[in-house]
Structure 1
Amino acid sequence: MLRLRRGVLAQLLSSPSVSPLHRLLSAAAPAAPCISPNPSFAVEDYLVRTCGLTRPQALKASAKLSHLKSRAKPDAVLSFLAGLGLSTADVASVVAKDPLFLCAKVDKTLAPNVAELTGLGLSPSEVARLVSLGPDRFRCRSIVSTLEYCLPLFGSYDNLLRALPRAGGSILGSDLDRVVKPNVTFLHECGLAACDIARLCIHTPLLLNISTERIRTAVACVEGLLGVPRGSLMFKHALQAVAFLSEDKITAKVELLKKTFTWTDAEVGIAVSRAPSLLKRSEDSLQRMSEFLISEVGLEPAYIAHRPTLLTFSLKGRLRARHYVVKFLKENGLLSRNRDYYYAVKITGKEFVEKFICPHKEAAPHLAKDYAAACKDEVPTRFRFT
C-alpha cells in the first residue's frame, strides 16, 4: 500500500500538467527555501503571488495559516492540485474555501485518497471535481468510505455531483454509521425504494445529515397534518416539502392557505397532498396567485384546490399570458367559452402555441406577437378588456 501511495504521488508530481506550477515553485525556491523553516515566510504574499488569491481573500485566509513558517508543505499541496489538473482559478478557489488545505499531508492523506477513489471507478477529472466542491472534506481519509457508500445510494457519480452543491459539500463529511445509514434505513421502512431515496437525496441531500428523529417527526407531519400516507406517490414530495419545517410552521402555512384561498379543511388537505411544495411558497406569492386566479380569471376556490398545480406555475410567464390569449379568443368567438383554463396552462409552451395560436393565424395574425409580449409581462392593447 505504501508503495502504491508513493507511486501515485510520484505520478502526480511528474505529470506534464504540473510543469507551469513546478517552474513557478522552483523559481521561487531560492528566495524561500523549502528545507528549513523560514522566519520571514510571508503567508499573505504567498497566497497572492503563488496561489492566486486576491489581497482581501489572502488577508482572511492568512489568519488560519499564521503557524506556517515554510512553503514546503503548501508547495507540495499546490503541486498535487496541479497534478490533478486543476486550473489556476480552481486552485485559488480551493485555497480560498479551505486555507488549511495547504497544510494537508500529500503522502499520507491526499495521494492515498486519490488512489482509493480511482479504485472505486472515479476518473482523475471526477476526483478533481470533488476536491473543488469539498476541499475540507477531501483532506480527511473518511471521504473514501463515504463515497464508497454514497455512490451506490445516489445511483451515479453525476447524481452525487448534482447533490453536493445543494448540501454545501456536507454529505462528504456526514457520519455514516450514526446518521446517514440510519436515515436511509428509516426511509426504506417508510416504503421508499432505492430509486426514490436517490431522487429525494439529489433534491434534498441535507436529509442525510439531520437526525433520524427529525425525519420521523417530518413523516408524522406528512401523515397527520397533510394526510399523505406512506407508500403514496406524493409521499416523497411531501416529505421533501416539510423536512425542515417545524410542526408550528406547517400548521401556520396550512392556516394561511385556508385564509388566502378561502379553502375548507378538506380542500386545503386535497391541495397540499397533491402539491406539497405549496408549503414553501411565500405569503406574498400566494396572495398574488389568489387575486389573479379568483378575482381576475374567476376560478372557484374549490376548482383551484383540486388543481393545486396551478399555484406552482409562473404567474407572469405562464398563467397571466395564457389567460390573456384564451380570453381574447373567447371574446372574439374563436374559442368555446366552455374551454377549460387549466388545460390551457398545464400543457407545454409548444403545445399551447400549436393548439391556441397557430389555428388562428388568419383570424388573428397579431396573436403570436401579442402572446410573446404577454410572456414578458407586457400587456398589448388588444388584450385589454373593459
Structure 2
Amino acid sequence: MLRLQKCILSRLLSSPATSPIPHFHRVLSVSAAVVSSRPSFAVEEYLVATCGLARDQALKASSKLSHLKSPSNPDAVLAFLADLGLAPADIAAAVAKDPKLLCTGVERTLGPVVVGLTGLGISRSEILRLLSLAGDKFRCRSIVSKVQYYLNLLGSSEDLLRVLQRSCYLVGSSFNRVEPNVAFLRQCGLGACDIAKLCICKPRMLISKQERVQAMVAYAEGLGVPRGSGMFRHALRAVEPLNKEKIAAKVEFLKTTLMWSDCEVKIAVSKAPIVLTVSKDTLQRKSDFLISEMGLEPAYIAHRPAMLTLSLERRLRPRYYVMKFLKEDGLLDHGKDYYSILLINEKVFVDKFICPHKEAAPHLDEDYATTCRGEVPTRFRFT
C-alpha cells in the first residue's frame, strides 16, 4: 500500500494538469529563498495580509503559531489549498478554524491525505467539503483509513459528509469505540441499511460508550419495541438523547395528557416511537384538540399515534374543519374515517375533498387555505 501511495504521489507531482498538489516543490524553494531577506516573521500580520483573516481572528490564531519563524511552510500550505481549488474566503475560514493547518507538511501529510482520499473515489469538491468539516482531523494521515471505514458503513461519500455536518468528531474517534457499537447494533438485528440510517440521524451513537448504547436498547425494549421489529431503529433514535429519568417523565406525561394507560403508551410508542420526541406544549395542544374538540377516544389515538406527529395548524385542524363542514352540509358520507383522511397527501386531499364541491361550496378552497394559515373563517365556526 505504501509503495502504491508513493507511486501515485509521484505521478501526481509529475503531472501539473491533473495533480491536486502541483508546484508545491517550487513554492517551497521560492519561499525559502525569500525568507532569508526578511528581517522577521510577524505571524499576526501574515494571517491578516496573506491569509485574509479578520484582525480579531488573527490575534486569536496567532497564539497557536507563535513558534513559526518564517512563512515558508505556511506559504506552501496556502499554495496547496489554492491549487486544490479552495477559494480565498474558504482558505481564511479553514485557517481560522484550525490555525495549525499552516504548520502541516505538504509533502509529508497533506499531499498523501489528498492522494489517499482520491484513491477512495472522493471527488475534489468532496475533499474540499471534508477539509471544511473535519477541521484539525484533516491534517492526520489516519483520516484516510477512517473515511474508508465510514464509506463502507454508510454507503456513500454524500452520506458521510451529512454525518460529519452533525458530528465532525466521528473521523477523530478511535475504532476501538466505534466498531464494538456497530457490532452490537448488528447483534440487535439491525441490518447495514438500518445502521447507516441510524448513524446519519444520530452519529453520536457510534462514538458513545458501549454501556450507553446497551442502555438505549434496554429503554427501547422497555417501551414495547423489541429487537428485530420494524420500529426498533426509530425507537433507538427517539431514546438516544434521553436517560431513564427523562423517559419515565415522558411516559408519565403521555399518560396524564392523553389519558392513556401503561398498555396504551406501549401500543402508541411501538407504532410511532417519535411521539417521545414531541414537546410537552405540542402534545398538550394536540390532545386538547383531538380529545376535547374532536371527541376522539384516548384508545383510538393510542392505536393511531401518527396523528400526534402531524401539524395541528396545517393538517389536523384544517382537514377536520373541511370534513365537518362537508358532513353538516350533507356532502360527505358520515362513515368516512378521519384518520385515513389525515394520512393522504395534500394533492390527493384537495382533489378528493375540495375540488368536487366547487359548485355546492364555492368558498371551500378559500376557507381551507385560510385555516391552514392559522385563521378560522366564519363558515368553519361550528356551534
What TM-score, normalized by structure 2, do the two folds share?
0.90
Partner of 2:79: 79
Task: Say which SS state the counterpart of residue 164 (structure 1) adopts.
Answer: helix
Q: Output the CA distance in 1 between the equivalents of 2:92 and 2:372.
A: 41
| Deviations, residues 230-252 of structure 1 (Å, cap 9, x unaligned) | 11001111011112311111111
Q: Output the CA distance in 1 between the equivalents of 2:230 and 2:375.
A: 38
Partner of 1:154: 154
Which of the numbers 283, 286, 290 marks the counterpart of 1:286? 283
Q: Is the alpha carbon distance of 1:57 and 1:337 closer, same or farther for their aligned partners in structure 2, counting shifts above 3 Å?
A: farther
Q: Give the Å deviation of 1:113.
A: 0.6
Q: Is the alpha carbon distance of 1:68 and 1:354 closer, same or farther for their aligned partners in structure 2, counting shifts above 3 Å?
A: same
Partner of 2:44: 44
Q: Output the CA distance in 1 between the equivalents of 2:315 and 2:349.
A: 10
| Deviations, residues 316-349 of structure 1 (Å, cap 9, x unaligned) | 2221222222222222222223322211211111
Partner of 1:382: 379
Tell me, yes or no, if the aligned pair for 2:21 and 2:80 is still in contact at 8 Å.
Answer: no
Partner of 2:201: 203
| Deviations, residues 118-161 of structure 1 (Å, cap 9, x unaligned) | 11122222212211211211111111111111111101112212
- The size of the alignment, in residue pairs, is 376
Alignment of 1:114-193 (within 5 A): 114-167=114-167, 169-176=168-175, 178-193=176-191
Q: Output the CA distance in 1 between the equivalents of 2:16 and 2:209.
A: 39
Q: Output the CA distance in 1 between the equivalents of 2:137 and 2:16.
A: 20
Q: Output the CA distance in 1 between the equivalents of 2:324 and 2:43.
A: 68
Tell me, yes or no, if the aligned pair for 1:179 and 1:209 is still in contact at 8 Å.
Answer: yes
Q: Give the Å deviation of 1:36.
A: 5.0
After alignment, is 44-53 or 99-108 more displaced?
44-53
| Deviations, residues 257-304 of structure 1 (Å, cap 9, x unaligned) | 111111000001111111111222221121111112112222111111
Task: Say which SS state the counterpart of residue 134 (structure 1) adopts.
Answer: helix
Partner of 2:270: 273
Partner of 1:369: 366
Partner of 1:325: 322
Q: Which amino acid aligns with 1:47?
A: L
Q: Is the alpha carbon distance of 1:143 and 1:15 closer, same or farther for their aligned partners in structure 2, counting shifts above 3 Å?
A: closer
Q: Which amino acid aligns with 1:212?
A: Q
Q: Is the alpha carbon distance of 1:68 and 1:374 closer, same or farther for their aligned partners in structure 2, counting shifts above 3 Å?
A: farther
Q: Which amino acid aligns with 1:192?
A: L
Tell me, yes or no, if the aligned pair for 2:12 and 2:18 is still in contact at 8 Å.
Answer: no
Q: Is the alpha carbon distance of 1:66 and 1:296 closer, same or farther for their aligned partners in structure 2, counting shifts above 3 Å?
A: farther
1:337 counterpart = 2:341: no
Q: Give the Å deviation of 1:73.
A: 1.9
Tell me, yes or no, if the aligned pair for 1:13 and 1:80 is still in contact at 8 Å.
Answer: no
Partner of 2:255: 258
Q: Give the Å deviation of 1:202.
A: 1.5
After alignment, is 376-385 or 274-283 more displaced?
376-385
Tell me, yes or no, if the aligned pair for 1:41 and 1:69 is still in contact at 8 Å.
Answer: yes
Partner of 2:9: 5
Q: Output the CA distance in 2 between the equivalents of 1:91 and 1:360.
A: 60
Which of the numbers 344, 350, 355 marks the counterpart of 1:353? 350
Tell me, yes or no, if the aligned pair for 2:15 and 2:22 is still in contact at 8 Å.
Answer: no
Q: Which amino acid aligns with 2:152?
A: P
Alignment of 1:208-223 (within 5 A): 208-223=206-221
Q: Which amino acid aligns with 1:180?
A: V
Q: Which amino acid aligns with 2:141?
A: R
Partner of 1:22: none
Tell me, yes or no, if the aligned pair for 1:200 and 1:240 is still in contact at 8 Å.
Answer: yes
